[in-house]
Amino acid sequence: MRSVILSSPFTIFWERLKDIGPKILEIFLIILLGFLCAWILKVVARVILKIIKFDNLCDRIGLSTAMVKANVKRTATDILGLIVYWLVIFWVLVLSLSMLNVQVIDDLASSFLLYLPHFFIAVLVLIFGYFFAGFVGRALLIALVNAQVKSAKPISLTVHILILILFLTMGIEQLGIAKGVVVVTFSILLGGVVLALAIAFGLGGKDMAKDYLEKKTKASSEPRKKPDEFSHI
Amino acid sequence: MSKSILSKEAREKVSEYQQAEIVVGIPSYNNVRTISHVVRAVSAGLVKYFPNYRCVIINSDGGSKDGTPDVVKNTMVEDFNTILIEHPLYPVHKIVTPYHGIPGKGSAFRTIFEIAHLLQARACAVVDSDLRSITPEWLEGLIEPILIHGFDFVTPLYQRHKYDGTITNSIVYPLTRSLYGKRIRQPIGGEFGISGNLVSHFLDDDKVYDTDIARFGIDAWMTTTAVASGFKVCQSFLGAKIHDPKDPGADLSSMMVQVVGSVFNLMETYYQSWSKVANSETVPEFGFKFEVATDPVRVNLERMVANFNQGVSDLNSVWEKFLSYEVLSGLRKISNSNILEFRFPKPLWVRIIYEFALAYHQKVMSRHHILSSLTPLYLGRTASFVNENVDSSPEQVESDVEELCLEFEKQKIYLLSKWK
């Protein structure tokens, strides 16, 4: 009798273990395979990014410089490879947990799993947009100054801000925050800017526009002001 | 040497001629107005000064639409008797071929070098196709130092208008001189003599032809490579350099990016070489120097100073990322001054070039942005140079350039101290 009392918990534990055991083994195998897949995908992602010269793009837009300043020792390609790696690992862990068939974990995992890529894409879009806007704004500023366009600074600043707003909208849309509101606000803002410029140019600057067009048509019929005659090289 | 880039026709011609001691390359693109004169001068130079050598002229064309290659094929020297003492042993052959790769002079040179290498040429010369002032004597000047005196690289010396070649005078010459220690006056002159050994060396590094070096940067690359690799270099006086007016639409900014970018890029490659150089020395010179009158040129000072002033006011946000406080305040001090009294001090200019080189090296931002933001400063320095030398003779202008070179050499220690 005493031996039965003592052995029954072990028996129950053993019975449960027999039920769960194969599942634990499955989870273990899935995690193992997951690590392998994550590693392969990381390598593939890095090869693709190297082929499309992603690091060069990051150099051009100043992302690499910002990373060096932040004491990040890895290249942008390496970091994206790592993001791919850990995303796969995370996905595999959630998948393996769902093997336990616990409803709460299932729900939490599936909603989190669905949201996570959006979050990462939003972060990437915002980071890329920040540097891209800076790159385009600066390129435009330098080109306009070299072409001696008087309003080089305000034009390049406007373009910089518009690109920032565009990427911010894209990022917020990815996060799913007030989707419609953000898109509508952006459309109104952009439409408003264009309309304001059109009205300003059409009404306020009609004389200027007239002068400009007259000068243009006159310039095309008259010989252009001669350039410098010396050779730079 | 890597895979051949020659066309089938060019390879057939090479097989036909088999061997040549002298090869002269003429890169071209829509040069129908001047190419005939260049080909005649080259042909005459070869038969006059090298009658006992096998010579081949190569026209490497970038897809001209004005019939330039046809003109080259049909051009002959009408009467050699007026210029010859003895008749040539061999006829001068011509190979007219399009080049492949990035459109530009560098790709054209690559084709010329490959043909010269296959023909086992002892000497190769390259001359621009837009030259109006080339004479048969130029060939003697470019080839003789190689064949007779054993030099590997011959750079040109010209008589030019005092305002001509401002990128050379204010950046490329003083910078390469202070870096590599050789006083090569026209490092990006356009006409060069190259030994067979150096031609092979130029072909070894085929990756450079996929960069900006394949465009305007080839001249700087050839000179720097020759000097930094220890080849024997000399200069040859050729006389006046007058070429067809350049396309007024040609973008100064992209020219700056390619030429200055090539020099900065080579600083990375040859750091070990230039970091050990403290002073500069002259290189041997050939040719008889003489004065040549040059036509006056028109300079738009107002436009140059306006561009400089706009740069100082608008590009501060770009420059403050890599220019020091002293430089920025120096620039603010000289901006908005009277056009005719505008002066850009040499020490400030030298510091700017070194800080741009450092920014390029450290990649503080897109390298293209760094280089293209130099244009307003360059125009400012050029305007100052014009103001400083309005009444100067050629000798005075030369001593002004010499002063600038010494300033570059003096401040090199600053560059070295910041280069990591």
B172-218 tens-digit pLDDT: 999 999 999 999 999 998 899 999 999 999 998 878 887 777 777 88
Least confident span in A64-73, A129-138, B378-387: A64-73
Range of lowest pLDDT (A62-71, B253-262, B304-313)? A62-71
Q: Specify the DSSP element, H or E, that contains A52.
A: none
CB B26 within 8 Å of CB B68? no
Q: Please state, in angstroms and rounded to a whole number, the distance separating the CA atoms of residues B304 and A149.
A: 14
For A233, nearest residue in chain B (alpha carbons): B165
pLDDT band with cut points at 50, 70 and 90 for residue B248: very low
Q: Give dist(CA B63, CA B122) in Å, integer.
A: 29
Which pair of structure tokens corresponds to residue B273?
């070489």
Whether the CB-CB separation of B174 and B401 falls below 8 Å is answered with: yes
Contact B315 A142 (CB under 8 A): yes
Query: Residues of B with CB below 8 A from A145's CB?
Result: 307, 310-311, 314-315, 373, 376
Q: And the tokens for B54?
A: 């096998």
pLDDT of amino acid B164: 82
Which one-letter DSSP state was computed for residue B131? B
Q: How many CB atoms lie within 10 A of CB A141?
A: 24
- DSSP SS3 for B66: coil
Of A64, A139, A233, which is closest to B255 when you measure between CB atoms?
A233
- Of residues B29 and B244, more confidence is placed in B29
- CB-hemisphere CA count at 13 Å for A42? 17
How sure is the predictor about B78, in pLDDT bands with cuts at 50, 70 and 90? low
Give the DSSP H/E element, type plus range, for residue A99: none
Check: CB of residue B191 under 8 Å from CB of residue B287. no
Quote the tokens at residue B99: 């080049």
**Rounded to an integer, what distance in angstroms lies between the CA atom of residue B46 and that of residue B41?**
9
d(CA B159, CA B290): 8
Which residue numbers of B have CB closer than 8 Å to A's CBs? 161, 163-168, 172, 188, 216, 243, 245-246, 248, 252-253, 255, 259, 297-300, 303, 306-307, 310-311, 314-315, 317-318, 363-369, 372-373, 375-376
Token pair for B125:
């010369």
Provide the pLDDT confidence category of residue A218 given band limits of 50, 70 and 90: low
H/E element holding A61? helix A54-61
How close is the nearest chain B Cα to the Cα of A137, in Å? 11
> Which positions in chain B touch A150 (Cβ < 8 Å)?
310
Contact B307/A62, CB-based, under 8 Å?
A: no
CB neighbour list of residue A161: distance below 8 Å, 6 or more residues apart: A133
Report how far residue B360's alpha carbon sits from residue B344's, in angstroms, rounded to the nearest whole number.
23
Token pair 């406080």 is found at B325
Q: Where in chain B is the domain with CATH 3.90.550.10?
A: 8-286
Interface mutation target, options B211, B218, B314, chain A, most CBs of A under 10 Å? B314
Looking at residue B293, the DSSP 8-state letter turns out to be -
Whose tokens are 């007030």? That residue is A178
Within 8 A of B250 by CB-CB distance, chain A residues are none
- The two tokens of residue A233 are 């090289």
ipTM greater than cut 0.95: no
Residue type, B69: P
pLDDT > 90: percent of chain B: 57
CB contact under 8 A, A148 and B307: yes
Residues in chain A with CB shorter than 8 Å from the CB of B368 are: 60, 139
Q: Enumerate helices (H) and strands (E) in chain A, giving the number of each.
A: 8, 0
Give the closest-approach CA distance of A154 to chain B in angstroms: 10
pLDDT(B332) > 80? yes
Pairing type for strands B192-195 and B123-126 reads antiparallel
Block residue for tokens 């690590």: A35
Q: How far is CA A144 from CA B225, B258, B261, B328, in A?
A: 35, 19, 20, 21
Mutate to test the interface with A, among B315, B319, B358, B389 (most CBs of A within 10 A): B315
pLDDT at residue A230, rounded to an integer? 66
pLDDT of B65 higher than 70: yes
pLDDT band at A205 (very low <50, low <70, confident <90, very high): low
Nearest partner of B154 among B290, B283, B23, judged by Cα: B283
- Give me the amino acid identity at B139: L
Per domain, the residue ranges of chain A are 21-101, 181-213
Task: Tell me the chain A residues in contact with residue B372 when contact means C-beta distances shorter than 8 Å.
Answer: 142-143, 146
C-alpha span between A51 and A44 (Å, rounded): 11
Residues of A (136-195) whose Cβ lies below 8 Å from B? 138-139, 141-143, 145-146, 148, 150, 152-153
- B348 to chain A nearest CA, in Å? 21
Of B165, B315, B367, the CB nearest to A141: B315
Nearest to A232 among B255, B315, B365 (CB): B255
C-alpha B77/C-alpha B87 separation (Å) is: 13
For B204-221, the DSSP string reads: H-GGGGGSGGGTTTHHHH
The dihedral region occupied by B150, where left means phi > 0, alpha psi between -120 and 50, and beta the remainder, is left
Distance from CA of A217 to the nearest CA of B (A): 20
Lowest mean pLDDT among A169-173, B249-253, B316-320: B249-253
A-chain residue closest to B386, CA distance = A230
Say what the pLDDT of residue B249 is. Answer: 46
Least CB-CB distance to A142: which of B246, B255, B372? B372
Contact B297 A145 (CB under 8 A): no
Tell me how far apart the alpha carbons of residues A146 and A144 are, in angstroms, rounded to a whole number: 5
Q: Which of A128-142, A218-232, B146-160 is predicted least confidently?
A: A218-232
The CATH number of domain B8-286, selected from 3.30.365.10, 3.90.1150.10, 3.90.550.10, 3.40.50.12780: 3.90.550.10
Chain B residue closest in CA terms to A155: B314
B349 neighbors B385 (Cβ within 8 angstroms): no
Distances (CA, A) of B20 to A83, B50, B121, B328: 59, 12, 5, 56
In this structure, how many other beta carbons lie within 10 angstroms of the beta carbon of residue B324? 16
Looking at beta carbons, which residues of chain B come within 8 Å of A143?
Answer: 253, 372
Chain A residues with CB-CB distance to B243 below 8 A: 231
> Whole-angstrom Cα distance, residue A196 to residue A199?
5
Residues of chain B with Cβ-Cβ distance to A135 below 8 Å are 366
3-state DSSP call for residue A178? coil
**Is the pLDDT reported for residue B68 higher than 60?**
yes
pLDDT computed for residue A215 by the predictor: 62
**Lookup: tokens for A207:** 């004389």
Selected residue with higher pLDDT from B62 and A105: B62
| B193, B110 Cβ separation under 8 angstroms | no
